[in-house]
Amino acid sequence: MRRKLAAGNWKMNGTAADLAEVAALAAAHPAPGVDLLLCPPATLIHRMAQVAGPVAVGGQDCHAAAKGAHTGDISTAMLRDAGATHVILGHSERRTDHGETDAQVRAKAEAALADGLVAVICIGETLEEREGGQTLGVVGTQLAGSTPDAATAANTVIAYEPVWAIGTGKVPTLDQIAEVHGFIRAELVKRFGEDGNGFRILYGGSVKPSNAAEIFAVSDVDGALVGGASLKAADFSPIIEALEAS
C-alpha cells in the first residue's frame, strides 16, 4: 500500500508571521492519516521545522554540488542542517524561469538521494504541448531524463503538474489525469520493476478543496502537490481531509 502524501509548495511566499498557519495545521492534524509536507522558502525552513509537528519540511530546490562558489544556491547538506527531509526538484517554474534541463534536475536529484533527502521530481507539459498531442511524449522524456537510477519508492516521489493548470484555475479532465498517471506508473514499472508500483505519484495543478475529492478518486493519484491553497491552514486542511477519505 502506498501511503498518500499531501505536499504544499509555498513558492516565493511567506515570512515568519506565516508560521502561525503551520502551527495551526499541525494542531488540526496531530495524527494525520496521510503524510504531510510543506516546502517554504529557504529562509523559513529551520523555523518551520520547529513548529511543524507531524508535518515534514522540505526545500524548493538544491544545487547538485556539495559546496563551492555558487552564490545564492543551497546544498543538500544545508537543507538537512536546516531541518528539511525532502526537496522539490524540476518544478515547471524552475524549468521555465531558470532554464533547468532534465539533466540538471537529474543531477540535483542524485545529490539529494545521496544525502538522504527524498526527491519530489516534477514533470509536466505546457498547453501548447497538450494541444499538440505531445503530452505523453513530453512526460515520458522528462520522467526518464530527470529520475536517477538510484531512485526507489522510498526516496523519490513523482509529481505530475500540467504546466497550463498551475495557478490558472484550469484543471484537466479526470480522464486526462488518469491517462497521464497511468502512463507514469507503467513507465516506472518498466524501468524499476515491481518497486515502480510503490512510487507515489502526486497530481499538481490547481488542486483546491472543491475539486480535491474527485481528483483523489482517480487511479494512481497518490496525493497532491498544492501551491496557493497550502499557504493557509483553512484551505489546506480540507484537501488533507479529502485525501484521508480517499
**Residue 136, burial from CB neighbour count under 10 angstroms (0-12, 13-18, 19+):** middle
Say if CB 44 and CB 14 are below 8 A apart: yes
- Torsion, Cα of 152, 154, 222, 188 (10° steps): 10
Contact 173, 135 (CB under 8 A): no
Largest CA distance in the chain: 47
Q: Residue 219: count other Cβ atoms within 10 Å of its Cβ.
A: 10
| Residue 161 a catalytic site member | yes
Q: Which residues pair with 155 in a beta bridge?
A: none
Catalytic residue among 93, 100, 161, 187: 161
46 given a catalytic annotation: no
Catalytic residue IDs: 91, 161
